[in-house]
Structure 1
Amino acid sequence: MNRERGLSVRLKLTLSYAGFLMVAGVVLLAAVWVFLLRYVPEHAMSTPRGFVPGRDDLVRAFAPPAAWALVFLLASGLSGGWILAGRMLAPLDRITDATRMAARGSLSHRIEMEGRRDEFREFADSFDGMLARLEAQVVEQQRFAANASHELRTPLAVTQILLDVARNDPNRTGDELVERLHAVNARAIDLTEALLLLSRADQRSFAREHVDLSLVAEEASETLLPLAEQRRSTIETSGEVASAIGSHALLLQMTTNLIHNAIVHNLPEHGTVQVNTARGPGHVLLVVENTGDKLPLQLVSTLTEPFQRGSERIRTQHHAGVGLGLAIVKSITQAHNGILTLTPLAAGGLRVTVQLPAAPV
């Protein structure tokens, strides 16, 4: 925004300091003058105690020193106010420089203002915190864009290879090519839909209503029951009514992703998935546990990042997904002002806890 150049804040503060001193000086001199006038006669006279000057004589004697005093106050106010205003506004100059650097794209710079806490330092600390969050978001978006580009490029590259092989191999049957292209295209569609869902959750552009997590858990479990039977796993659903405020479609997608993840990342045979809901003071809980391999803490901390999978073995399996399941769960949880917690179990497997604000009764 283009603005006309005005007086600097430092000059305004200087004039304010000087003006205050001048007003205070004038009031003080006026009070002294009024006080003297009460006891001074209008004309000079002689008394047995001596000569008493009149008001005219007092004016001639009082006015020059008073004028010099006002000049001194004005000079002191201007010089002292300029110095004090400069010292007071010095932190603001550092904040302005940091703002300009951030506007040029340098988000790694921090003000790190020293000294005890005051208004300027609280503002500087808040600005540093904002820069840290912005830098982390930019890095995360760049990494996400790079991973998404890589994931989207893979099915396209596979499609190109299949077409090239089919063109150069006249003996290859068309049915086999169509089947493989169908599988590759289905994966690309799943990835695109997952990216759109993730974007929708991040934008928080959805209508809110009362949603019972216990009913959502039952619905998701019934939908994924064929997959569990195919992988020889069992799903156990229990708990109490747990009503939250949010999007039924997004919370259903979140629960489905959790149960799907628990089924896929499970034991090869006789695995179990436990889905529980509970209500606490001011919040509701959705807990999904599964059996499976032992997971180190370092791996668990990265599972909610986009395109991260539990192990290399899972990458080649049919229902491995696109690597956005827990990332979508995290985004949906945050969009509902909730807390997502991942805890590796000592015997193997993972416990995922979603805590959401409870709906008012």
Structure 2
Amino acid sequence: MARPPGLSVRLKLTLSYAGFLMVAGVPLVVTVWALLRSYLPDVAAIPGGILIRSDLMRDFASVAGTVLACLLVIGLLGGWLLAGRMLAPLTRITDATRMAATGSLSHRIRLEGRADEFRELADAFDAMLAQLEAHVAGQQRFAANASHELRTPLAISQTLLDVARNDPAHDRGELLDRLHAVNVRAIDLTEALLLLSRAEERSFSRAPVDLSLLMEEATETLLPLAEKRGVRIHTSGEITPATGSQALLLQLTTNLLHNAIVHNLPDQGTVWIRTAAHPDTAVLTVENSGEELSAELVSTLTEPFQRGTERIRNDHAGVGLGLAIVKSITQVHGGTLTIVPRQAGGLRITVELPTQD
């Protein structure tokens, strides 16, 4: 926003210091002048001569004027130096802000010294820069991964179409089946990206939600997939009230259950899903059997398009956004997501949501 030029804060503080000295000095001089005028006689004998009040008042006025002039000069010079010293941290903060405005988010103020208002502002600004840098880096990684993931089905489709055009005798039924599968994957990825964007923008209304009902709905939806893969689902829990978007929390529950079914043992796998109500939180826990996972690998699973280097890949493995969406939905609801590897293999994922806004 364009602003007309004005006085600097340093100059304003300098004038304020000098003005304060003058405001304090003038009443003092006037008070002394009034006392001299009231209590001194017109003529008084003193050692060495006679004191005439009018002469004394005239001399006092001259001295008082000199003193006030000195106070003004001292106030201006001292105020300028003090204001410069006080505003030095603000200059560093301003410089860092300008650097951030140009796109440099790696710079930090790191203002030394004891805590005060300026240092609290600098620390808050450093924390904001760190969050922005992490967010931008995450967005860049996400954009790169999304471009890669979307490019893959498009490239496959292009290859299949080229084959069909160059080889008219190619089996069209097989070609259509493969194109359909590639197209479904591209649609699933696009819908997941839109859902993730919607969750991060917080563009949803909040209402009372029962997590136990969402658990039952997700279980009923995914039961055919679990039976096909030979995975048993054990559900337990009570009425678990929370507050949020029913559609997003259902997506969260479905993603967790789908992840637990797909990334499980190749045969005779098990999933445990349960809900619990606490005084201030509603808890959803999903556990699954599976291969043993390291803590380092588990810590990366909520990153977009991370499926784990050793995890099972198949037609139902999804697009790599399941747990990223779970993390985003949990965060926008003010909850916490905890993922830990089970000693017997597999994962334990716990979502804690506040019962009220």
TM-score (norm 1): 0.96
How far the C-alpha of 1:229 sits from its partner, in A, is 0.3
Which residue in the other structure is 1:25 paired with?
Answer: 25
Aligned partners of 1:318, 1:234: CA distance in 2, in Å? 20
Which residue in the other structure is 1:300 paired with?
Answer: 298
Q: Deviations over 1:298-338 (max 9, x none)?
A: 100000000000344523x1101000000000010011011
Which residue in the other structure is 1:105 paired with?
Answer: 103
Which residue in the other structure is 1:326 paired with?
Answer: 323
- Where does structure 1 lack aligned partners over 5 or more consecutive residues? none
Query: Is the 1:244–1:358 Cα contact (8 Å) retained in structure 2?
Result: yes
How far the C-alpha of 1:281 sits from its partner, in A, is 2.5
Aligned partners of 2:101, 2:8: CA distance in 1, in Å? 22
Distance 1:313 1:169, change over 3 A: farther
Alignment of 1:137-148 (within 5 A): 137-148=135-146
Which residue in the other structure is 2:277 paired with?
Answer: 279
- Where does structure 2 lack aligned partners over 5 or more consecutive residues? none
Q: Which of 110, 121, 124 is the equivalent residue of 1:123?
A: 121
* One-letter amino acid of the structure 1 residue matched with residue 190 of structure 2: T
How far the C-alpha of 1:44 sits from its partner, in A, is 2.2
How far the C-alpha of 1:52 sits from its partner, in A, is 6.3
* One-letter amino acid of the structure 2 residue matched with residue 321 of structure 1: G
Q: Deviations over 1:76-119 (max 9, x none)?
A: 11111110000000001100100100001110000011011100
How far the C-alpha of 1:167 sits from its partner, in A, is 1.6
* One-letter amino acid of the structure 2 residue matched with residue 17 of structure 1: Y
Which residue in the other structure is 1:44 paired with?
Answer: 43
Aligned partners of 2:316, 2:139: CA distance in 1, in Å? 26
Q: Which of 248, 252, 264 is the equivalent residue of 1:266?
A: 264
Which residue in the other structure is 2:342 paired with?
Answer: 345
Aligned partners of 2:174, 2:310: CA distance in 1, in Å? 27
| Identity of matched residues, % | 69
Which residue in the other structure is 2:153 paired with?
Answer: 155
How far the C-alpha of 1:35 sits from its partner, in A, is 2.3
Alignment of 1:183-222 (within 5 A): 183-222=181-220
1:309 aligns with 2:287: no
1:224 aligns with 2:219: no
Aligned partners of 2:120, 2:317: CA distance in 1, in Å? 47
Aligned partners of 1:52, 1:211: CA distance in 2, in Å? 99
Query: Is the 2:33–2:57 Cα contact (8 Å) retained in structure 1?
Result: no
- SS of alignment partner, residue 96 of structure 2: helix
* One-letter amino acid of the structure 1 residue matched with residue 331 of structure 2: Q
Q: Deviations over 1:112-157 (max 9, x none)?
A: 1101110000000000000000000000000000000000000000
The count of corresponding residues between Structure 1 and Structure 2 is 357
Query: Is the 1:158–1:184 Cα contact (8 Å) retained in structure 2?
Result: yes
